[in-house]
Structure 1
Amino acid sequence: MQDWADGAQLVVIRHAPAMPRGRLYGRTDAGIASDLDLPPGMRAALARVPDRVSSPARRCRETAALLWPGAEIETDALLWEQDFGAHDGLPFEDLPDLGPLSGAALADYSAPGGESFADLCARTAPAFDAHARAAHEVGGPRVLVAHAGVARAALAWLLDDPVTALRFEIAPLSVTRLRVGPEGPVSVIEVNRTWG
């Protein structure tokens, strides 16, 4: 892992796999496996980062508790995953086939009663602005334990492009790091970094 003290950063960690697997989890508040072992080196690499925030989702809070046992972790309601409305919590095989969609149409699509990825990007942008300012003030990283959609929304915030951000894969327990400055996002350091 590169030097975590190397300037202001937003570090987005996707939570551990939600249980049971094979379902679309947005606002459905699933947990993680109780016997999960973190990849070797992950906890040690992240232990030195004191500035931590979590989505209120159970799977994120449980992941944060694994990473920093006993630590108080602030939560930010803006970091919830995309609300998939009527599709939330469904097994993947029960999701409707949307057919071919352009990137723009996919970013704008929302399930009945849910929000689109573009909506998620608009909802999370103020949180990224605030967390970037906080990281800049301390001159180091701020870790956000959140969701795949939130990591992609952070990329959309930096790139100013939700369509491109949807093309990134974000694995469970992966790290996406963005360099931030006093006025907001600067550059991508790494995306979807996992421990072997």
Structure 2
Amino acid sequence: MAIVLLLRHGHSTANADGVLAGWTEGVGLTDTGRDQAARAAERLSALTVVRAVSSPLQRCRETASLAVPGLQVASDERLGECHYGAWTGRRLADAAKDPLWRVIQDDPAAATFPTSPAHRGESLGEMAERVVAGVRALDAEVEQGHGTGAVWLAVSHGDPIKAVVAESVGAGVSGLQRVRIDPGSLTAVQVTATRMVLLASNTHAGDLSALVARPAEHEAGDSTVGGGAG
């Protein structure tokens, strides 16, 4: 029942070029991305973040080092980007003309990226299962080590964070494309024994303290009837 803050990496060189980076090496942050990570650091500084875990990819590791400079950041492949296979490095403008694009948009649970000699492919369903299971496992470790009120940080990518949000609202991978996660944004999710609960999504500014407050009047996995008193 700890709370995870999911930070999407800042604006990257691949974002600037309009290409799908996937697991390509050497994709780092732009100046804009570094500014976004610095803003995230300001927001996180008011909290006690007990652990930070990052995707192993450079753009996430750079973001993590700027966002939580006082913490040692672990690397975990379960938080890594979707394996886009033959789409890796492809310009998004060109990808939008591929028939697979419509499958990704309209029926993401049926979308699988084709493997290439250089890059393995993965379905969006496999990606979502990997990331959600990873977040659950890491959250359990945090709770065991730091208690149920602990807050920890996961630095990841757009589609993986979208998968966690979709899971937390009960939409699953079918609802993946109904979620927006911008570079440098922070999303708050509480992981309980029964379900994930979305506390806030795609936030760019503001005090995070209220987002990580635990309900006192009912079980953490429940939602207040009527919406709560604020």
TM-score range, shorter chain: 0.7 to 0.9
Gaps of 5+ in 1: 1-6
Match of 1:10 among 4, 8, 14: 4
Q: What corresponds to 1:188 in structure 2?
A: 198
Letter in 2 for 1:19: T
Letter in 2 for 1:109: A
Verify the 8 A CA contact 2:10 2:37 in the aligned structure 1.
no
- 1 or 2 for the larger relative contact order (CA 8 Å, sep ≥6)? 1
Q: Deviations over 1:81-113 (max 9, x none)?
A: 101111111121222432644866333212211
The percentage of counterpart residues that share the same residue type is 28
Q: What corresponds to 1:3 in structure 2?
A: none
Letter in 2 for 1:57: L
Check if 1:108 corresponds to 2:110.
Answer: yes
Q: What corresponds to 2:215 in structure 1?
A: none
Q: Displacement of 1:129 after TM fit?
A: 1.6
What SS class does the counterpart of residue 144 from structure 1 fall into? strand
Residues 84-123 of structure 1: pairs in structure 2 closer than 5 A: 84-95=84-95, 96-98=97-99, 100-101=102-103, 105-113=107-115, 114-123=121-130
How has the CA–CA distance of structure 1 residues 87 and 103 changed in structure 2, closer, same or farther, with 3 Å as cutoff? closer
Count of matched residue pairs: 189
**1:70 and 1:33 mapped to 2: Cα distance?**
22
Q: Deviations over 1:38-88 (max 9, x none)?
A: 377531221332311100010000001111236421111111110111111
**1:72 and 1:37 mapped to 2: Cα distance?**
21
Which structure shows the higher helix fraction?
2
Q: What corresponds to 1:32 in structure 2?
A: 29
What SS class does the counterpart of residue 31 from structure 1 fall into? coil
Larger Rg: 2
Tell me how large the CA RMSD over aligned residues is: 2.4
Letter in 1 for 2:156: A
TM-score, scaled relative to structure 1:
0.85
What SS class does the counterpart of residue 5 from structure 2 fall into? strand
**2:185 and 2:142 mapped to 1: Cα distance?**
20
Q: Displacement of 1:178 after TM fit?
A: 0.8
Letter in 2 for 1:38: Q
Letter in 1 for 2:81: E
Q: Deviations over 1:124-169 (max 9, x none)?
A: 2321221221343322111100001110121233326111133100
